[in-house]
Amino acid sequence: MVTPDDGFRPGQVVPASGIYRCDTGCGHSYASTDVRGHRFPPLPDGCRGGRWVPERLTQRS
């Protein structure tokens, strides 16, 4: 099960469909909607984060 404390690097397989945000916490709005089984995209240019963290997962993850 994916928890809000989990973080995933770009290129890793997405474990649960949903919306993920970068882990910097610096107030920008870099988000990615990802589908289970696909791979996480690269973080956006200028992002100082290192991982995608779950923000809101779908019911059927």
Total-model pTM: 0.84
33 φ, ψ to 5°?
-95, 120
- For residue range 12-56, what is the model confidence (pLDDT) as tens digits? 999 999 999 998 866 667 889 999 999 999 998 888 889 999 999
pLDDT band at 61 (very low <50, low <70, confident <90, very high): very low
Whole-number Å distance between alpha carbons of 22 and 9: 10
End-to-end CA distance of the chain: 9
